Amino acid sequence: MRPSDFLSIAVNALFGAVTGWLLLGTAGSAAGAVLGAAFGYAAARFNVRPAIAMTVFVGAMTGGLIGSSIVSTICLPNTCTALEIVAGIVTAIAAFIGVGIVAALVTRSFDEYNERVDAGLPPTGVGCEVEEGDRPSAIGHRQNENEVDDPATPDRPTFRGDKRTQ
C-alpha cells in the first residue's frame, strides 16, 4: 500500500468517527471510525485513488448526517431514533451513489484530457463539436447571418435571433 492509502484510511476513519459521534454519540463514533477505516482499506485494495475515495466517503457521510438531521428536526426529541437511523442510512447511500457518479465522470474526463495532451493532440472542446457546414439550422443556430428562421407574414415580422425586423 502507498502512503496516500494510509492517509485515506485515516481521514475516512476520522470523518466517520465525527459523523458517528454527531449522530449517535460515543457508540456512533466508534462505529463510524470502523466503517470509515474499512471503506478506506477497501478503496486501497481496489486501487481507487485516495482523493476520490475520501471525497465519496465524506459525501456519503454528509448525506447521512443531513438525512438524519431532517428527521430529527421533524420528530419530537427522542421519539424517532430508529427513523433517524434509517433516514441517515438511506440518504448516505443516495449521496454515496450521487457523489460516486460525479467523481467517476470527472476523473474520466481528466484522464481523457491528459491522454490527449500526452499524445500531442489538442484537448477536446466543450460539448459535441461538429464541422461548420454540418450544423443543423434551428432558432438561434443559423449557419450564416442571412438565413431566416421563420418566413415573414403580413401580421408577423421576420424573427432573427432576439431582434425583430419590420
Per-residue pLDDT of the chain (166 residues; tens, 9 = 90+): 788 888 888 888 888 888 888 877 888 889 888 988 998 888 888 888 888 888 898 899 899 999 999 998 998 888 888 898 899 899 999 999 999 999 999 998 888 888 888 888 777 766 555 555 554 544 455 555 555 555 556 665 554 554 444 4
Query: Who contacts 144 (Cβ-Cβ below 8 Å, separation ≥6)?
Result: none
Distance of CA 136 to the CA centre of its chain: 32
Q: How far apart are the first and last CA of the chain?
A: 72
Question: Given this model, what pLDDT does residue 20 score?
Answer: 83
Is 130 among the domain residues? no
Is 93 among the domain residues? yes
Distance separating alpha carbons of residues 117 and 111, to the nearest angstrom: 10
Which of 129, 138, 128 lies closest to 159, judged by CA?
A: 138
Question: Given this model, what pLDDT does residue 99 score?
Answer: 94
Question: Given this model, what pLDDT does residue 15 score?
Answer: 84
Distance separating alpha carbons of residues 133 and 137, to the nearest angstrom: 10
Is 33 among the domain residues? yes
Is 35 among the domain residues? yes
Is 71 among the domain residues? yes
Question: Given this model, what pLDDT does residue 166 score?
Answer: 44
Number of domains the chain is built from: 1
Question: Given this model, what pLDDT does residue 81 score?
Answer: 84
- Its pTM stands at 0.63
Is 105 among the domain residues? yes
Is 109 among the domain residues? yes
Question: Given this model, what pLDDT does residue 152 score?
Answer: 58
Question: Given this model, what pLDDT does residue 5 score?
Answer: 82
Is 61 among the domain residues? yes
The residue segments making up the domain with residue 34 are 3-118
